[in-house]
């Protein structure tokens, strides 16, 4: 095995590990370069010197709260691996984990770009409908597996859905009068289980990244698996149109956008919430303010976002509408969503579970708990 300089283990002021290309961790993982960065730490590409292949290593900041969160994520990933050793359910595969001088490190299989980064690199040119269908189908299938095992992901967003391989073709787009990227393979994996929560565990009041946050979370009415379904509805819209459905950073404005796009928040929820956004069951919102004008000008009823009146497009919007039901108890479940007509056109070779290898393990899917 090659030897490298022994890294003098140092952290920067934020708690990130200071490293250089060529550093070797655990006498095994040689750092090749940085793949990305987040609040939790960094993701680097490493070469496993024992197995001679590359992988992605998530190096968590040397900060107590992130270290504890990483331990929870490892626990979830280990449970998922027990249930689904062959990753039939499309959750990212954890290959190893270790504590490196206070930095929790988690090694994963190497994957391609996220569906968000691919969209961004493609100038926010939306995905073709057949690709939206296949990505959405896999997402429902994967998250349904979590739900069947008493877990809620709580942080579903396009950044947390990665292509297995993000190679693309350039295709001429006559509307844009230029070439756009079209990903060759739409197989995806679900990542980031750092906020995943078991039914029996403490449920934090606020979960999810803002744009994908369900109304029951904003209104602090308690949440469970249906909050993931809401997020998936927002994601399907974004893949189809290339724009975020709820582009805001403020709770009251977010609720106003929901009302403009989906209709009034149900009185039951408006009256039950302890938050101060409603008065006598009505959202307190000034339509004449600059924020009011912004919402009116930038949001319209959901069905008006449809790009075509073909049945495929109608079916997609019917599904999104059912995923964006305000009432969590009325919201479509992922079991129901998988049977929605929008997914009837999934090609036989893309089918999972009912016709594919996924069914082999269904019987073993006893509930998981920590």
- Was 58 annotated as part of a binding site? yes
Q: Are 199 and 150 in contact (CB under 8 A)?
A: yes
- Active centre residues (catalytic): 155
Q: Are 229 and 332 in contact (CB under 8 A)?
A: yes
Q: Are 286 and 296 in contact (CB under 8 A)?
A: no
User: Which residue blocks in 84-182 are alpha helix, DSSP H?
Assistant: 115-121, 129-148
Residue showing tokens 């009256």: 271
Would you call 106 exposed, middle or buried from its count of C-beta atoms within 10 A (0-12, 13-18, 19+)?
buried
- Distance between CA atoms of residues 249 and 291, nearest Å: 12
Distances (CA, A) of 258 to 68, 247, 295, 304, 313: 35, 11, 10, 14, 21
3-state SS of 173-218 is: ECCCCEEEEEECCCCEEECCCCCCEECCCCCCCCCCCHHHCCHHHH
Q: Are 126 and 242 in contact (CB under 8 A)?
A: yes
Q: Which parts are annotated binding residues for ATP?
A: 58
Q: Which residues are annotated as a binding site?
A: 58
């Amino acid at each position: 095995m090659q030897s490298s300089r022994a890294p003098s283990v140092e952290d920067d002021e934020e708690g990130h590990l200071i490293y250089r290309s060529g550093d070797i961790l655990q006498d095994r993982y040689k750092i090749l370069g940085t793949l990305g960065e987040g609040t939790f730490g960094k993701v680097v590409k490493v070469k496993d010197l024992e197995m001679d292949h590359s992988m992605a290593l998530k190096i968590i900041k040397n900060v107590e709260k992130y270290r504890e969160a990483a331990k929870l994520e490892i626990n979830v990933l280990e449970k998922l691996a027990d249930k689904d050793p062959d990753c039939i359910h499309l959750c990212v595969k954890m290959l190893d984990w270790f504590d490196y001088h206070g930095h929790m490190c988690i090694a994963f299989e190497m994957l391609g770009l996220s569906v968000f980064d691919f969209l961004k690199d493609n100038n926010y040119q939306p995905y073709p409908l057949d690709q939206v269908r296949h990505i959405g189908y896999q997402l429902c299938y994967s998250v349904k597996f979590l739900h069947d095992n008493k877990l809620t992901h709580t942080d579903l967003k396009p950044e947390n859905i990665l292509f297995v391989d993000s190679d693309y073709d350039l295709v001429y787009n006559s509307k844009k009068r230029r070439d756009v990227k079209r990903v060759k393979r739409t197989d995806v994996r679900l990542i980031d289980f750092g906020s995943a929560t078991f039914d029996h565990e403490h449920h934090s009041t606020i979960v999810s990244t803002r744009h994908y946050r369900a109304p029951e979370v904003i209104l602090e009415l308690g949440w469970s698996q249906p909050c993931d379904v809401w997020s998936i509805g927002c994601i399907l819209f974004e893949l189809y149109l290339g724009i975020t459905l709820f582009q805001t950073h403020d709770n009251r404005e977010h609720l106003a956008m929901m009302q403009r796009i989906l209709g009034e928040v149900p009185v039951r929820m408006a009256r039950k919430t302890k938050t101060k956004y409603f008065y006598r069951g009505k959202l307190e919102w000034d339509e004449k303010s600059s924020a009011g004008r912004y919402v009116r000008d930038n949001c319209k009823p959901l069905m008006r976002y449809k790009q075509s009146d073909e049945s495929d497009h109608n079916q997609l919007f019917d599904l999104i509408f059912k995923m964006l039901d305000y009432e969590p108890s009325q919201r479509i479940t992922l079991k129901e969503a998988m049977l929605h007509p929008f997914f009837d056109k999934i090609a036989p070779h893309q089918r999972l579970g009912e016709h594919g290898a996924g069914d082999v393990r269904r019987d073993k899917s006893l509930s998981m708990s920590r």
